[in-house]
Amino acid sequence: MSRVPAARTRLASGRTTHSLPTVRSTPMSHVAIIGGHGKVALILSQLLKTGGNDVTSIFRNPDHTDDVENTGATPVVADVEQLSVAQIADLLEGHDAVVWTAGAGGGSPERTYAVDRDAAIRAMDAAEVAGAKRFVMVSYFGAGQDHGIPEDDPFHAYAQAKADADDHLRASALDWTIVGPGALTEDEASGKIDVSTGERDGERKTSRANVALVVGAVLDDPSTVGKKIDFSDGDTLISDALEVVA
């Protein structure tokens, strides 16, 4: 992967995405991002387009169309929470890869399960139906059935939903990678991370821009298929860190 000059994308709201080193890689050709108006997704769309990929960005609110278009992605307004496997498969037809960045965003436990578990699982099943074999899930650092979050903790529903969704992806026939960033920040992209060796640490932080860079890198790296990669901002170039994981 070769670094080229940093770039910014101006959104319809007047905000700009983070300045980040774009990465030119072998094009995946057609990538669908589910949850396309999230902060990570907007940066990722710009990154993938600069790398020569065709990007379809799927999001719920039509008011966000201009923001998505300004990244270079093709906007598709659809609420995957309400769609069946067959309907999501129709959206994913013709794509080579799917990136899941959607989330309930701190809603009720019921909605958290509906989006972060149930809709995510339907999207995985739909990707199989549509023949979109590559699937990258944005999860969180330390996600798993052993999360240890008590049921009366407000974070429990999210932790359990992500654990269940990640397990479904592992059991699928997809070429999957799960990325688990630490607590998300608005910091600029450094292009450097530390990969976890298994310990959990609630103090670990990761810039959203670095998350986008990691997703872009794993899409271009078949050695990351079948891997869960927990990481935070750190001191190792992303490409070097992924070599260690592989």
pLDDT, tens digit (0-9, with 9 covering 90-100), for 39-88: 999 999 999 999 999 999 999 999 999 999 999 999 999 999 999 999 99
37 residue type, one letter:
H
The β-bridge partners of 21 are 6
The β-bridge partners of 2 are 24
Domains of the chain: 26-245 (3.40.50.720)
Question: What is the pLDDT at residue 3?
Answer: 34
Q: Which residue has the tokens 């099943």?
A: 125
Active-site annotation, residues:
158
Give the SS3 label for residue 120.
helix
pLDDT bin (cut points 50, 70, 90) of residue 244 is confident
- Cα dihedral angle (24, 231, 92, 102), rounded to 10 degrees? -120
Q: What are phi and psi of 26, to 5 degrees?
A: -60, 120
- Mean pLDDT for 233-244 is 95
pLDDT bin (cut points 50, 70, 90) of residue 200 is low
Nearest to 83 by CA among 115, 52, 54: 115
The whole-model pTM stands at: 0.89
pLDDT bin (cut points 50, 70, 90) of residue 114 is very high
